[in-house]
Amino acid sequence: MAGLRANWFYLIVLAGLLMLPLFAESDAVAAVMPRGLTGSALLHVFVLIFFFAYMSQAWNIIGGFAGQLSIGHAAFFGIGAYVSTICYIHFGLTPWLGMIVAAAVTGLIGAGLGLVSFHYGLKGPFFALVTVAFAEITRLVLLHWEFVGAANGILLPFSPDPTFWEFQFTTKEPYYYIALAMMLGSIALVGWIARSRFGYYLHAIRQDEDAAEAVGVPTKRCKIQAIALSAALAGLGGTFYAQYTQYIVPDDMVVGRVSVEILLGAVIGGAGTVMGPIVGAFILIPVGEATRVIFEGGGTGTSLSALIASDMGFADKFLAYLDYLAAGGGGGLAIILYGFLLMAVVLGMPGGVLPWLAGLRARAARRTRARS
């Protein structure tokens, strides 16, 4: 019965997401949006949610199911973006096919990285350090390689008459539905993996790799396959990001911050579960965007320090502070609040939100049976 209710819940949410662009510019949506923001900004937030849910799901294969901590997935993400962009600019290959090329290249690179790492028995913090080093080497190569724009990056040419084949659109709606399809595809893929023999092997490796190998699980091969698939999906995501932003640069893409953002969704939602990365992204991205809009700079209000030092009364200061927040002020308060929220979730729900909710339901069911 609980599973049936969950399925109905997900179907209702999916129906709402499919219809959201139809009402993004409605008066009802405009009434709840922060001042100065439109329905297009709302669609942008959902594009980010879908995208990072997809990227977290890609990381979930190697980090959640196989239990191999990768802190360098930004490298696969960035390589995928550069490969598809080079194919588009220099060889005239449509980004839709560039996605496939990017996934193939990053998948091979991921397999090579896994082959070298797992051949020498690297696991835990040692494998994590290898991924960090690989990401930094990738960033430095891209940063100094003139063919790919070096530190200036690549500005993708925008067609005056964009078409679907060029993966360029003048509105947010097509990107919204493409990102939604990518997220749903990743859910289907990971759901299939979770029910397959490959998925059971990965779970066994995560629980106890030595015991899994002792009973005949090909641990090395499974881990290489997991990181290859995870890297290929991340490379495909890099293509989407490049086409969505129309500009790629090493210091914005192949950096540790991006790798952490990719894995946080799975960690917060529940690593090693099918829906954990999705739930995590639906929590993290809105919180991050909301705090940025409310607290960060860029507004037209007076500075916070000048407001505190002014001679206005407390009530006037409070009203002026509200105007300041509404105008987008706040400096680094967004990052501080975001960090506190993350710490609260990690400390209060160390296994992730979904396992925590499952524990609550189990305890409630036990109490109900005990009373009856």
- What residue segments make up the domains of the chain, in order of their start? 2-28+37-296+332-371
Sign for the CA dihedral angle at 356, 358, 364, 369 comes to negative
Q: What number of other Cβ atoms are within 10 A of residue 270's Cβ?
A: 26
Could you tell me which residues are beta bridge partners of residue 154?
248
> Model's pTM, two decimal places?
0.86
**pLDDT tens-digit readout, 89-145:** 999 899 999 999 999 999 999 999 999 999 898 988 999 999 999 999 999 999 999
Burial of 78 (0-12, 13-18, 19+ CB in 10 A): buried
Which residues touch 145 (CB under 8 Å, ≥6 apart)?
Answer: none
Tokens standing for 317?
């200061």
Pairing mode, strands 247-248 and 154-155 = antiparallel
pLDDT at site 353: 84
pLDDT at site 325: 53
Q: What residues in the chain have per-residue pLDDT under 50?
A: 297-303, 305, 328
What are the percentages of helix, strand and coil residues in the chain, rounded to 5?
A: 75, 0, 20
Question: What are the two backbone dihedrals, phi and then psi, of residue 217, each rounded to the nearest 5 degrees?
Answer: -75, 125
Secondary structure class of 275 (helix, strand, coil): coil
pLDDT at site 106: 97
User: Domain 2-28+37-296+332-371: which CATH class?
Assistant: mainly alpha
Helix (H) or strand (E) holding 288: helix 276-295
